[in-house]
Structure 1
């Protein structure tokens, strides 16, 4: 499968990879790169079923998280700065646990690794959406999901875009199950502890409680970690609070 890739040019000696959220695209990193003034040379790509990439075709031997992780890993030629948001942040973390020497720094916005949260919080996340899935009410699920994590403003109910959102919502449910079970074993013993690159965990003040619990659990195990909460921000802070996001990203890049 050929995925759409986007290149934000910058310092060729400072390669970076950007990994976007579910229901997002590689364009998420445009505001950030406008503010970093060429500090890094960033490659990003649209995940299957997102942006300009082709639809995701379910495979018997490869789940979406593994597919995206492998695609990103193949892009690494030298130690890189990984910048990830939500689902993309869990992919970045998986790469860093698997090949810590390939990572120069990790800037992670609200990694949704639900397995790291208290069991009650992970279960609550599942229970919020399960009734919609059981009844086949994908539009209702979209309104609930985007209300929790993004925005329901202008949510279409008819046409190709509405159908794409429903398909993406089904992908979200599959990946949520994957992340709640930690199928990639990101939290395995002595995994996070081997990451010696500087890590910055960023969250929005008004984001769901579970992301703050996940950040706390991850920070307790990472050797070199900083945490930041952006006042007034929610889950989509790379777009809504781009200045603050850029400042924190620059700070972490400087630490590497």
Structure 2
């Protein structure tokens, strides 16, 4: 992951970018990152004010207590911001990875508060059940939880980073960045009930089909095969979805390729 994902001590638990207009956008980052991960993309947009939150246990947010279910907790805290920002009308939602699944859950719960969605590789892996990529992916992904249960935290972080980072080996990351990931790697296993088995019911029959807001689905062309399966499944069910595949990019596409993503996001916002 890029250096920008290392937290800055003086930052609060959210960041705001005024990009020339009051139109509100709420942005939810990926796991093991923080709100500043949106900076490269957001600084290339115009006509909006973007608020990006730090998820529980990330950036300057309070630590996760390990008790409240992590997806539900993130949903609850994020939804409070949606209600605040939507006081004058529906808002736009951005989400990346785990954050994208939370953004999708918000939109499915209260579509009246959402003007548009931009989802970067929402990792609701359960959408791909039955696809050829699903079984081998699940076996590899559950390795992270097994290694954590065995107390092999460094190995768990290395396995996860190899699949979802920007390509550099975990051992080669700066000490501070490795420490940040290691301090939060337990979140990954805690997300599995929702991401692998849809415990939150995001994929219930008819639920995605009823979501009429415009959705921009973004992915990296070099992302793990499970992402193509998930994106294909979601796009087949969302009635107003547009798919953007960025060549040469991986899972961190909004961070590594912000200019390419920003062009499509701006068009998406302008049309919504």
Q: Is the pair's TM-score, using the shorter chain for normalization, greater than 0.5? A: yes
Query: Is the contact between residue 125 and residue 195 of structure 2 (CA under 8 Å) also seen in structure 1?
Result: yes
Aligned alpha-carbon RMSD (Å): 2.1
CA contact (8 A) 1:12 1:40 kept: yes
Which contiguous aligned blocks of 4+ residues in structure 1 show a shift greater than 6 angstroms?
Answer: 156-160
Q: What does residue 8 of structure 2 align with?
A: none
Structure 1 CA distance for aligned equivalents of residues 134 and 35 of structure 2? 27
Moved more, 90-99 or 74-83: 74-83
Who is 1:118 aligned against?
129
Contact 2:121/2:251 (8 A) holds in 1:
yes
Gaps of 5+ in 2: 1-11
Query: Alignment partner for residue 220 of structure 1, among 236, 251, 271?
Result: 236
How far off its partner does 1:58 sit? Answer: 1.8
SS of equivalent to 1:200: strand
Deviation, structure 1 residue 164: 4.0
Structure 1 residues 190 and 52: CA distance shift in structure 2, 3 A: same
Counting only pairs closer than 5 Å after superposition, residues 58-73 of structure 1 correspond to structure 2 as 58-59=66-67, 62-73=68-79
Query: Which residue number corresponds to residue 222 of structure 2?
Result: 206
Secondary structure at the counterpart of residue 192 of structure 1: coil
The 8 Å contact of residues 161 and 170 in structure 2, kept in 1 or not, is answered as no
**When the two structures are superposed, what TM-score results if normalisation uses the length of structure 2?**
0.85
Unaligned runs of 5+ in 1: none
- The counterpart of 2:160, out of the listed 110, 130, 145, is 145
1:248 match: 264
TM-score by length of 1: 0.90
**Match of residue 96, structure 1, among 97, 103, 107:** 107
Pair 1:86-2:94 in alignment? no
